[in-house]
């Protein structure tokens, strides 16, 4: 096998002519992994089935060969999935500095807690009397979230950040409708995550951009300019996606409220301020919290998300059901809303109560850190981002000047000007150095953005290594070693994939034809 550049690799078995010895084509951990369907064979099985007549009776007309399931032995299946897992990059294998995504270490204690049978083996339709401990856990986690945010109510059921945005913005819509004050526009700063305008649009709002000022933050004047009697809400991220704290957030909240609108805060970056600032003190009406970012529950292939939404007193009655209430020593999931007379909450957002496994992990993270530990995690995340900034600022370029950042540091691509090397090349070259690339080309307000979030998980030694590797890549980009970047990755099992073909020509079902040939 040769290292492939952008094409489908020659198959492990197919690359040799008949008179040469058969090589595997594999090199160390760079192993060609065919699909299970390509190696399977109906005559093989990983399970010893019952006597033939029993087997036939059970399966009836369902013939295995008829539905095309591959037959494999247990070791073949094990090797297939272990090899696939080794091709992946994970927070457990190295630095994963994906800005805004907060790829922090997932403490194993949390995994242990989530696997306790009283949490892992419960079913959402079990009688509530038999899941009192699980309900108490949801209630306790809700109390921690309210304490940390200084808010009045919380909806636990949203299953990710974007789902939480929908929850909060729907509550705003219903609250305004109840007041007979339906409005049609949502303000979104240019630097916002794409889910913000998408959420507003999904709820039928028109999106109005708010420009950022020179220093990368939003000015109250720009917000005032954009406000009007038709504006339902602003969706603002703080710290923002440029890694900067919106220092005028209280003035912005005042202006928004004065115009009769609500303040939705995208709380994906809450991990920078936990224990330092409470959204409730900043004039925020509702905010989602990505448990899978701030509170370390696994994500990005490692597990589902969870996006509880905290509400101000005024909006809390519009939160979706169900929620947990405590009566003395008893806990109950309540299906009817506690909404005030005349209020019309939007009902249910998920089939059950939310992501139980993530609730357990998040609470384990909070309780094992304690409030001082959570504050320190935020401080260390900010310290690490600034350490990276200080280590790179003389060779890379910061779009909003050399200012202290929060939990992530943003560079633009002016340092690559006239080199012929792009942000994409730079990111691909990081793979060869053993790092997951940073977030690139986001936020959109910055040309060729490179957004680095090291998180508090990284030690000084690991940050030093990371900084040294990036400095060396800058040197290569500016010198005579550009191929190292423009041709990267040189050492990954697969090189540059077609970035859009998977979305434009998805192959969703194995038909026996190699997808590349089939599409031609
Ligand atoms: C991650 C993120 C979201 C979306 O959260 P999901 O849990 O991925 O749905 C929204 N806004 C910002 C700023 C984010 O970083």
Could you report the average pLDDT of every consecutive run of 10 residues in the chain (520 residues)? 38 45 68 83 75 60 61 91 87 94 96 95 94 96 98 95 97 93 96 96 97 94 97 98 97 98 98 97 97 94 87 92 90 74 74 94 98 98 98 98 97 97 98 96 96 98 98 96 95 84 85 50
CA distance 289 to 312: 14
Considering only CA atoms, which residue is closest to atom 7 of ligand 1?
161
By CB atoms closer than 10 A (0-12, 13-18, 19+), residue 92 is exposed
What per-residue confidence (pLDDT) applies to 518?
38
Tokens encoding 375: 């504050």
- As given in the structure block, the two tokens for residue 407 are 């939990």
Show me where the domains of the chain are located. 1-33, 109-365, 371-503
Contact 110, 364 (CB under 8 A): yes
* Cβ–Cβ under 8 Å, residues 62 and 25: no
Output the CA–CA distances (angstroms, integers) from residue 189 to 44, 193, 195, 237, 408, in the order listed: 58, 9, 12, 9, 19
Give the closest residue (by CA) to ligand 1 atom 5: 161
Q: Which residues contact 126 (CB under 8 A, 6 or more apart)?
A: none
pLDDT of residue 13: 39
Please give the number of the atom of ligand 1 that sits closest to the Cα of 305: 7
Residue nearest ligand 1's atom 6 by CA: 161
Question: The tokens of 48 are what?
Answer: 């010893």
| Cα 463 to ligand 1 centre (Å) | 25
Decide whether any atom of ligand 1 lies within 6 Å of the 309 Cβ.
Answer: no
CA of 101 to the centre of ligand 1 (A): 7
What long-range pairs does 514-517 form, CB within 8 A, spacing at least 24?
A: 514/8, 516/7, 516/8
Ligand 1 center–CA 211 separation, angstroms? 21
Ligand 1 neighbour 193 (Cβ under 6 A) = yes
In the chain, the N- to C-terminal Cα span, in Å, equals: 23
Is the CB of residue 290 below 6 angstroms from any atom belonging to ligand 1?
A: yes
Distance of CA 12 to the CA centre of its chain: 35
- Look at the domain 109-365 and name its fold: 3.40.640
Pocket test for ligand 1, best of 101, 265, 268 (most atoms within 8 A of CB): 268
d(CA 239, ligand 1 centre) in Å: 13
Task: Give the pLDDT confidence score for residue 1 in this predicted structure.
Answer: 34
Q: Partners of 331 in the beta sheet?
A: 326
Ligand 1 neighbour 160 (Cβ under 6 A): yes
In this structure, the residue with its CA closest to atom 2 of ligand 1 is: 268
Task: For residue 50, report the distance from its CA to the centre of ligand 1, in Å.
Answer: 49
| 233 three-state secondary structure | strand
pLDDT at 66: 60
Tell me if 309 sits within 8 A of 287, measured CB to CB: yes
Q: How far is the CA of 269 from the centre of ligand 1 (A)?
A: 9
pLDDT value at residue 56: 60
Tokens 């005349």 locate to 342
CATH number of 371-503: 3.90.1150.10
What pLDDT does 476 receive?
Answer: 97
The DSSP element (H or E) to which 163 belongs, if any, is helix 161-178
Cα(99) to centroid of ligand 1, in Å?
Answer: 11
| Cα gap 317→320, rounded to integer Å | 9
């Amino acid at each position: 096998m040769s290292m492939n550049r952008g094409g489908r690799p020659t198959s492990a078995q197919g690359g040799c002519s008949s008179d040469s010895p058969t090589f595997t084509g594999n090199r160390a951990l760079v192993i060609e992994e065919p699909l299970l369907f390509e190696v399977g064979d109906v005559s093989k099985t990983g399970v010893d089935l019952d006597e033939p007549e029993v087997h036939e009776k059970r399966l009836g007309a369902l013939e295995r060969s008829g539905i095309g399931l591959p037959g494999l032995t247990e070791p073949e299946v094990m090797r297939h999935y272990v090899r696939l897992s080794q091709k992946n990059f994970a927070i457990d294998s190295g630095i994963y500095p994906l800005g805004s995504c907060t790829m922090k270490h997932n403490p194993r204690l949390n995994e242990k807690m989530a696997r306790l049978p009283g949490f892992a083996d419960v079913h959402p339709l079990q009688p509530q009397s038999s899941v009192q401990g699980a309900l108490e856990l949801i209630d306790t986690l809700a109390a921690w979230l309210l304490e940390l945010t200084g808010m009045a109510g919380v909806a636990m059921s949203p299953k990710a950040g974007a789902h939480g945005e929908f929850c909060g913005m729907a509550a705003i819509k219903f609250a305004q409708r109840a007041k007979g004050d339906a409005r049609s526009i949502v303000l979104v700063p240019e630097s916002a995550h794409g889910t913000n305008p998408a959420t507003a649009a999904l709820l039928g709002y028109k999106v109005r951009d708010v420009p950022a000022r020179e220093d990368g933050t939003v000015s109250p004047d720009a917000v005032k300019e954009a406000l009007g009697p038709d504006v339902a809400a602003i969706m603002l991220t703080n710290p923002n996606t440029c890694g900067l704290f919106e220092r005028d957030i209280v003035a912005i909240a005042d202006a928004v409220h004065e115009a009769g609108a609500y303040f939705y805060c995208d709380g994906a970056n809450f991990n920078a301020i936990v224990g330092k600032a409470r959204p409730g003190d900043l004039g925020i009406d509702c905010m989602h919290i990505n448990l899978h970012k701030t509170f370390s529950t696994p994500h990005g292939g490692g597990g589902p998300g969870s996006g509880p939404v905290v509400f101000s007193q005024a909006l809390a009655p519009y939160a979706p059901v169900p929620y947990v209430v405590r009566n003395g020593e008893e806990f109950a999931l309540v299906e009817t809303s506690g909404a005030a007379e005349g209020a019309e909450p939007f009902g249910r957002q998920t089939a059950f109560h939310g992501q139980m496994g993530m609730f357990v992990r998040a609470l384990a993270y909070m309780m094992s850190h304690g409030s001082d530990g959570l504050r320190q995690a935020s401080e260390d995340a900010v310290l690490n981002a600034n350490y990276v900034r200080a280590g790179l600022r003389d060779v890379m370029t910061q779009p909003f000047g050399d200012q202290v950042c929060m939990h992530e540091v943003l560079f633009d691509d002016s340092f690559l000007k006239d080199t012929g090397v792009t942000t994409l090349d730079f990111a691909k070259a990081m793979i060869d150095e053993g790092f997951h690339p940073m977030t690139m080309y986001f936020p959109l307000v910055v040309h060729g953005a490179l957004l680095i979030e090291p998180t508090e998980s990284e030690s000084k030694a690991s940050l030093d290594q990371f900084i040294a590797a990036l400095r060396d890549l800058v040197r290569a980009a500016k010198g005579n070693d550009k191929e190292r970047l423009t041709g990267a990755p040189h050492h990954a099992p697969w090189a540059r994939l077609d970035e859009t073909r998977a979305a434009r020509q998805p192959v969703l079902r194995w038909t026996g034809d190699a997808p590349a040939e089939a599409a031609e």
